[in-house]
Each structure stands twice: as structure tokens, then as C-alpha cells.
């Protein structure tokens, strides 16, 4: 056991009694933080930024070459926590909507950042929706708290950083020549992901299979319409080494999804149909598992609760992302030791990342030994 871990366990043991009384482990842990970090004023700042994608990104519903994001910072006693909102256009949030939401938040009225539950609940009820805007504050606050504790979040949550999964890498829909080329370029990755829902579904699989036998995960993005044909397709995909499929039918078609899940030879994962904690119980029987993304869940706090609840219900868990910088990817990656599948290639798809954090090494999600979410600005 390394020294950091031992010290952390020691400090945890000392405050266990207090944690049980307050029912807030983070606040109790704050008791072990030097006085100068116990009170002060938190200051939230934010700015718009636009991610440039390396390739045109095509899914069943649209194509694009950029993603708007908002970068957040929360400063407290000279320590800065970093956060991010990523807003793929089809989800409805924009530079304008996120900035309008963030302008309504006043963190200066809280004594310190450790009362995450109160602060994030207060922010959640400012307005409905706005999940990416809420996530941008949640991530910066978690980063700040982890930095003040001098601990990475996988330690605070008690997850084993050595148990991180391989991430899938998305091979975009394209002509056979380009798909073959992209598949060869993805040599480092152990799991490939394919977007379905266009009339190219079978051709994509056959093209990739002409190059490699690696396991493939599929994402239909609600793009199939007929449940019987979907079931036939799932059997066809299974024979060709596809191991799991996300959101095969539109999210509203609960009965058809349940019908398909009951018969499917492959695990069916709800993505568009499962946004937040309250959606997890409704996913029982409709999907075999859920895809958790920070930009849907409103951030790390609720994502971790979704993970815990889904696990307790015997559901599969996938951890996904949008196109994001290494900031939001690193934040999500602290949950990755506990999931069945990770799809955390978002920062690899952009040209202008501005953070260094969790890395993908030989296809494996690799957590940095740094406090907070583990990022530095580059």
C-alpha cells in the first residue's frame, strides 16, 4: 500500500464517527484539512470554447465537425478546480444556455466546497434540464474538493485504479476504404465501436471484419424502427463478434425495447433512454444495463449514485462520454474501475485538447496519480 493511500485510510478512520453523525463523508473529511482551507469564498468563472473534431462525426441523426463546450473554474483560497460542459447540438444545450444557467449560481454564499450535496442540490433546482451546465459545476467542485484533500477521486470513492477497463474506439460511418484505413489506425484499441442505424450497418461490420477480429460494440442511437428486424440484426451481429448494443429502438418505445431485451442474444444498453438517477429504476426490464455519461447525469455526484444503484439492481453498466477535453473525460474515468464497458475516447477525437489527464494507454483507461480529477492545463 503506498504512503498516500495509508495516510488517506488513517484520516478516514479518524473521522468515521463524525462522518456517520453528519451523514456527509466529504464534510467530515474536511475536518482533517488545514484551517486555511476550511473557510473562504468560492469563485466560479467560465468561458466558451469550441472543440475541433479530427474527423467528420456521423451518427444516425446528424453529422458535424465541431462541438461547443464551456470551461469552468472554481477558485477557493488559491486552489482551482476545473470543469467542463460539452454540448453536442442534438441535446439542446448551447454556449448561450449554459452561460445563462451559470450566471444564476452564487457559490460565494457557501462556507466551503465540502458540502457537495447541499451545493449541488441547490444548483439542480435552479432550473430543470441543463444537465451539461450542471455537470460543469459538479466536475469543477469535485476537482477542487479532491485537490483540497490531496486525493484522487478513485481513492475517495474507494475504487481500484488498476481495475480500469479498455475503452472502445469509435470507427465512424464512412466508405469501405476509409473504414478499413480507420480500423488499421485503431490498432492500439482492444474494442471497436460502430455506429448503426443507417443502411450501412452490415457493410460496416463486414468491412471491419475484413481487417480485424477484435470485439465490437454497437450503438444504434435509436435508429432502428422495426423490433422483429432489430432482433434478426442482433443475431446477425452476435455471429460476427459484436458483444453489446446501445439504444436499438427509440427511447419512447418502452414495450418494444422490453420485448427486444427479453429475446436479445446480446446485452442491450439504454443510453438516450436513461439520463439521470431517477431513470435507473425505469430501466429495469427495458434494458440489460445503462450508459452513464456525466453530461446527462449532471456530473460525478449523480453518476456515482447511478452506478451504485444499477449495480445493486444487477444491471450492466457502461461509462460513456461526448466529444470532450481530457477534463470531463478524466472526471468520468474515476468511475471506470467499476464498469463493464468504457467508451471514453472523446478526447482522442479532438484536435485542440487543453488538458492533460487520464490517458488511454494500449487501449486501457489509465488514471493519473494526481489529486482531484487528475488534470493539469497544457
Q: Which residues bind to Mg ion, rule: CB under 5 A?
A: 219, 246, 271
Q: Minimum distance between the CB of residue 246 and Mg ion, rounded to whole angstroms?
A: 4
For Mg ion, the closer CB: 179 or 244:
244
For Mg ion, the closer CB: 138 or 271:
271
Q: Minimum distance between the CB of residue 365 and Mg ion, rounded to whole angstroms?
A: 18
Give the pairing of strands 62-76 and 79-86.
antiparallel
> From CA 141, how far away is CA 83, in angstroms rounded?
8
Q: Minimum distance between the CB of residue 263 and Mg ion, rounded to whole angstroms?
A: 21
Alpha-helix runs per DSSP H in the chain: 3-22, 25-30, 95-102, 116-124, 131-149, 153-157, 176-185, 201-209, 227-239, 254-263, 277-280, 294-297, 300-312, 326-333
Q: Minimum distance between the CB of residue 193 and Mg ion, rounded to whole angstroms?
A: 9
Closest residue to Mg ion: CB criterion: 271
Q: Minimum distance between the CB of residue 275 and Mg ion, rounded to whole angstroms?
A: 12
Q: Minimum distance between the CB of residue 57 and Mg ion, rounded to whole angstroms?
A: 13
For Mg ion, the closer CB: 84 or 272:
272
CB neighbour burial string for 83-94, b if at least 16 within 10 angstroms, e if fewer: bbbbbbeebebe
For Mg ion, the closer CB: 143 or 246:
246
Cα–Cα distances in angstroms (integers) from residue 351 to residues 9, 44, 229, 317, in the given order: 40, 27, 38, 29
Instruction: Identify the CA nearest to 291 among candidates 330, 257, 245, 334.
Output: 245
For Mg ion, the closer CB: 55 or 184:
55
For Mg ion, the closer CB: 143 or 271:
271
Cell numbers found for residue 249:
429502438
> From CA 250, how far away is CA 91, in angstroms rounded?
15
Amino acid at each position: 500500500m503506498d504512503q498516500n493511500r495509508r495516510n488517506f485510510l488513517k484520516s478516514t478512520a479518524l473521522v468515521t464517527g463524525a462522518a456517520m453523525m453528519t451523514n456527509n463523508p466529504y464534510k467530515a473529511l474536511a475536518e482533517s484539512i488545514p484551517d486555511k482551507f476550511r473557510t473562504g469564498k468560492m469563485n466560479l468563472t467560465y468561458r466558451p470554447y469550441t472543440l475541433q473534431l479530427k474527423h467528420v462525426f456521423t451518427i444516425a441523426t446528424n453529422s458535424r465537425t465541431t462541438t461547443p463546450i464551456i470551461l469552468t473554474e472554481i477558485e477557493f483560497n488559491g486552489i482551482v478546480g476545473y470543469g467542463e460542459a460539452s454540448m453536442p447540438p442534438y441535446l439542446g444545450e448551447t454556449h448561450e444556455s449554459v452561460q445563462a444557467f451559470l450566471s444564476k449560481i452564487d457559490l460565494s454564499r457557501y462556507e466551503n466546497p465540502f458540502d457537495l450535496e447541499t451545493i449541488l442540490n441547490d444548483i439542480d433546482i435552479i432550473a430543470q434540464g441543463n444537465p451539461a451546465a450542471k455537470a460543469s459545476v459538479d466536475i469543477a467542485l469535485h476537482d477542487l474538493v479532491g485537490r483540497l484533500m490531496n486525493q484522487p477521486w478513485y481513492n475517495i470513492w474507494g475504487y481500484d485504479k488498476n481495475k480500469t477497463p479498455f475503452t472502445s474506439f469509435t470507427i465512424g460511418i464512412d466508405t469501405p476504404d476509409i473504414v478499413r484505413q480507420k480500423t488499421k489506425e485503431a490498432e492500439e484499441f482492444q474494442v471497436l465501436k460502430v455506429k448503426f442505424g443507417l443502411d450501412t450497418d452490415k457493410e460496416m461490420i463486414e468491412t471491419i471484419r475484413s481487417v480485424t477480429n477484435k470485439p465490437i460494440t454497437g450503438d444504434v442511437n435509436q435508429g432502428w424502427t422495426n423490433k422483429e428486424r432489430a432482433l434478426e440484426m442482433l443475431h446477425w451481429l452476435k455471429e460476427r463478434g459484436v458483444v453489446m448494443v446501445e439504444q436499438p429502438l427509440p427511447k419512447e418505445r418502452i414495450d418494444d425495447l422490453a420485448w427486444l431485451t427479453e429475446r436479445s442474444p446480446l446485452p442491450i444498453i439504454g443510453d438516450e433512454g436513461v439520463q439521470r438517477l431517477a431513470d435507473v429504476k425505469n430501466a429495469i426490464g427495458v434494458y440489460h444495463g445503462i450508459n452513464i455519461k456525466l453530461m446527462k447525469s449532471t456530473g460525478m455526484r449523480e453518476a456515482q449514485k447511478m452506478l451504485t444503484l444499477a449495480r445493486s439492481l444487477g444491471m450492466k453498466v457502461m461509462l460513456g462520454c461526448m466529444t470532450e477535453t481530457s477534463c470531463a473525460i478524466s472526471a468520468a474515468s474515476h468511475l471506470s474501475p467499476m464498469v463493464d464497458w468504457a467508451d471514453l475516447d472523446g478526447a482522442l477525437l479532438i484536435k485542440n485538447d487543453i488538458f492533460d489527464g487520464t490517458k488511454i494507454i494500449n487501449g486501457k483507461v489509465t488514471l493519473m496519480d494526481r489529486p482531484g480529477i487528475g488534470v493539469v492545463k497544457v
